[in-house]
Structure 1
Amino acid sequence: MSNERLPSIFEVGVVLLAFLAIVFSFIAIFKLPIQLALFVAWFVVILLGLRLGFNYESLQSSIIKGISNGLEAVIILMAVGALIGTWIAGGVVPTIIYYGLDLIHPSIFLLATLIICALTSLATGTSWGTVGTAGIAMMGIGEGLGLPLPLVAGAVLSGAYFGDKLSPLSDSTVLAASMSKVNVISHVKSMLYLDVPAFTITALLFTITGFSYSSGNLDLDRVQSIMTALNHTFNISPLMLIPALIVIGLLVMKKPSIPTISLGALVGVVWAALFQDLSFVNALETAYNGFSIESGSKFIDTLLNRGGISGMLGSIIVIILGLGIGGLLEKIGVLTVIMKTFVNKINNAGSLSTSTVFIGLFSNVFGCAMYVSLILTPKLMETSYDRMHIDRRVLSRNTEVGGTMTSGMVPWSDNGIFMAGVLGVSTLSYLPFMWMSFISIALVIIYGYTGKFIWYTSSYEKDAESDQEVIGS
Structure 2
Amino acid sequence: MLLLSLQKPISFIQNNLSQQIIETFKINAFVLIPAIIILILSLFKVDVKISMFISILTASSIAVLLQKYTVKEVFIFLVLGFKLDSSNPLNFILKGGGIISMWKAALVVFISCALSGIFSTTNMFKTVEEVLLKAKSRYTLFLYTAITSIITAAFGCNQSISIILTQHLMSKSYENNEIDNYQLSLDIENTAVVLAAIIPWNIAAFVPTTAMKVSSTGFIPYAVYLYLLPIINFTYIYFSEVKLNKFLPNNN
Range class of TM-score, shorter chain? 0.7 to 0.9
C-alpha distance in 2 between matches for 1:258 and 1:426: 36
**1:355 equivalenced with 2:151 (yes/no):** no
Q: State the TM-score, normalized to the length of structure 1.
A: 0.42
Q: State the TM-score, normalized to the length of structure 2.
A: 0.73
C-alpha distance in 1 between matches for 2:6 and 2:28: 28
- Report if aligned partners of 1:374, 1:403 keep a CA contact under 8 Å in 2: no
Aligned match of 1:328: 118
- Report if aligned partners of 2:33, 2:58 keep a CA contact under 8 Å in 1: no
1:435–1:306 Cα change, 3 Å: same
What code does the residue aligned with 2:102 have? M
Offset at residue 289 of structure 1 (A): 0.8
Which residue of 14, 21, 31 corresponds with 1:230? 21
**1:376 equivalenced with 2:169 (yes/no):** yes
1:431–1:273 Cα change, 3 Å: farther
Q: Deviations over 1:39-61 (max 9, x none)?
A: xxxxxxxxxxxxxxxxxxxxxxx
**1:288 equivalenced with 2:79 (yes/no):** yes
1:281–1:369 Cα change, 3 Å: farther
What code does the residue aligned with 1:209 have? S
5+ long unaligned stretches in structure 1: 1-204, 456-460, 467-473
- Report if aligned partners of 1:401, 1:440 keep a CA contact under 8 Å in 2: yes
C-alpha distance in 2 between matches for 1:258 and 1:286: 19
**1:403 equivalenced with 2:196 (yes/no):** no
Offset at residue 307 of structure 1 (A): 0.5
- Report if aligned partners of 1:378, 1:395 keep a CA contact under 8 Å in 2: no
Question: Within 5 A, what are the aligned runs for 1:25-424?
Answer: 205=1, 209=5, 213=9, 217-220=11-14, 222=15, 224=16, 226-297=17-88, 300-341=90-131, 351-365=140-154, 366=156, 368=161, 370-380=163-173, 382-383=175-176, 386=177, 392=179, 396=184, 398-409=187-198, 416=204, 420=208
1:321–1:292 Cα change, 3 Å: same
What code does the residue aligned with 1:305 have? K
What code does the residue aligned with 2:13 have? D
Offset at residue 327 of structure 1 (A): 1.8
- Report if aligned partners of 2:163, 2:188 keep a CA contact under 8 Å in 1: no
What code does the residue aligned with 2:61 have? V
Select the structure that is richer in helix: 1
C-alpha distance in 1 between matches for 2:235 and 2:86: 52
Partner secondary structure for residue 453 of structure 1: helix
Offset at residue 276 of structure 1 (A): 1.8
C-alpha distance in 2 between matches for 1:280 and 1:447: 51
- Report if aligned partners of 1:370, 1:403 keep a CA contact under 8 Å in 2: yes
C-alpha distance in 1 between matches for 2:66 and 2:189: 41
- Report if aligned partners of 1:233, 1:295 keep a CA contact under 8 Å in 2: no
Partner secondary structure for residue 254 of structure 1: coil
C-alpha distance in 2 between matches for 1:281 and 1:341: 56
Pick 1 or 2: higher relative contact order, CA cutoff 8 A, min separation 6: 1
Q: Deviations over 1:112-138 (max 9, x none)?
A: xxxxxxxxxxxxxxxxxxxxxxxxxxx
Offset at residue 322 of structure 1 (A): 1.5
- Report if aligned partners of 1:291, 1:308 keep a CA contact under 8 Å in 2: yes
C-alpha distance in 1 between matches for 2:226 and 2:34: 30
C-alpha distance in 2 between matches for 1:337 and 1:305: 47
- Report if aligned partners of 1:373, 1:403 keep a CA contact under 8 Å in 2: yes
1:281–1:353 Cα change, 3 Å: closer
C-alpha distance in 2 between matches for 1:304 and 1:206: 32
C-alpha distance in 2 between matches for 1:258 and 1:343: 35
Aligned-residue identity in percent: 14
1:372–1:426 Cα change, 3 Å: farther
Q: Deviations over 1:68-113 (max 9, x none)?
A: xxxxxxxxxxxxxxxxxxxxxxxxxxxxxxxxxxxxxxxxxxxxxx
Q: Deviations over 1:13-44 (max 9, x none)?
A: xxxxxxxxxxxxxxxxxxxxxxxxxxxxxxxx
Aligned match of 2:230: 441
Aligned match of 1:103: none
1:315–1:431 Cα change, 3 Å: farther
- Report if aligned partners of 1:290, 1:306 keep a CA contact under 8 Å in 2: yes
